[in-house]
Amino acid sequence: MNAVSMARAALILALPFQGTELSGKWEFKVDDGTYEERLDLSVSGNQLRGTLIAFNHGYFSRRSTEAGSFRVEGTVQNGRAAARMIDVSNGSSRDVEITRRGAYLLLRLPGRVVGYARPGTPLVHDGEGSGEALALAKAVMGRIYQTSSQANGRGSFVGGRTRLALCANGEVAYDFSDLVTVPGNSSGATNDAGSSVSRRGQWTVVLYAGAPTVMTRELQSIVRVESRYCPHRSSRPTSCRGQ
């Protein structure tokens, strides 16, 4: 997942769902082919049973190793399944909700939504011609989204900031930084440590599992934090260039 996954999850949670058939084989794959999940479900009456197996695939070697195996158990009502995923290796479990959106299946975990497609069906499609994709692009274009946290006490400080800028010219700027300050050995002295990561690329709106989603393509990584951003919460879309 990339830096805009929180926007993707929020959008998916807000959209209506269609379709009722949950049974059968479903797949989730990352773009570079290094990870996939295979979900096999069956429904009998209102009882749902199935398995989810995750695989890692070597990028160069293409060697496959199992990354996780789960049993899926639950009940179905009105096309939705309230279920548990049980880790075969240790017996731990988590609650999930399974639903359909059109041709796709959605598995909802706390803070995360994963889309699955039938084998051979792509999860991502071009958003051109979609009214929902256009509406999302207009809503986020030229905007900055930021989260930060900090804590201090006894002369020490720790804090971090994540910032995402979706520029009107199609550029994306993602920056993360953290800082730790602790008292030094002598009076008034401090020891500081921190790091920063910056990434630049392009963004567009696609249809992911049938829902409009912001997707980015990274062009370069930068080891320092830059200060060129779109004006915060600007009233009109602006470009990042030259600012």
Whole-number pLDDT of residue 219: 61
Q: Which residues of the chain have pLDDT under 70?
A: 1-20, 188, 219-243
Whole-number pLDDT of residue 190: 74
Query: How far apart (Å, rounded) are the C-alpha atoms in residues 126 and 133?
Result: 9
> Which 3-state string (H, E, C) describes 36-82?
EEEEEEEEECCEEEEEEEEEEECCCCCCEEEEEEEEEEEEEECCEEE
Query: How far apart (Å, rounded) are the C-alpha atoms in residues 237 and 243?
Result: 13
Measured on CA atoms in the order 95, 101, 105, 110, is the torsion positive or negative?
Answer: negative
DSSP 76-100: EETTEEEEEEEETTT--EEEEEEEE
Whole-number pLDDT of residue 98: 97
Query: How far apart (Å, rounded) are the C-alpha atoms in residues 140 and 62?
Result: 37
Q: Beta strands 112-116 and 124-126: pairing type?
A: unpaired
Whole-number pLDDT of residue 11: 42
Whole-number pLDDT of residue 110: 87
Helix (H, G, I), strand (E, B) or coil at 198: strand
Q: What is the pTM of this model?
A: 0.70
Whole-number pLDDT of residue 20: 56
CB contact at 8 A, 29 and 242: no
Model pLDDT for residues 164-177, shown as the tens digit of each residue? 999 999 999 999 99
Q: How far is CA 193 from CA 149, 177, 181, 215, in A?
A: 16, 11, 7, 32
CB contact at 8 A, 75 and 47: yes
Closest CA to 144 of 238, 222, 9, 207: 238
Model pLDDT for residues 145-193, shown as the tens digit of each residue? 999 998 888 778 889 999 999 999 999 999 999 888 888 777 767 778 8
Whole-number pLDDT of residue 12: 42
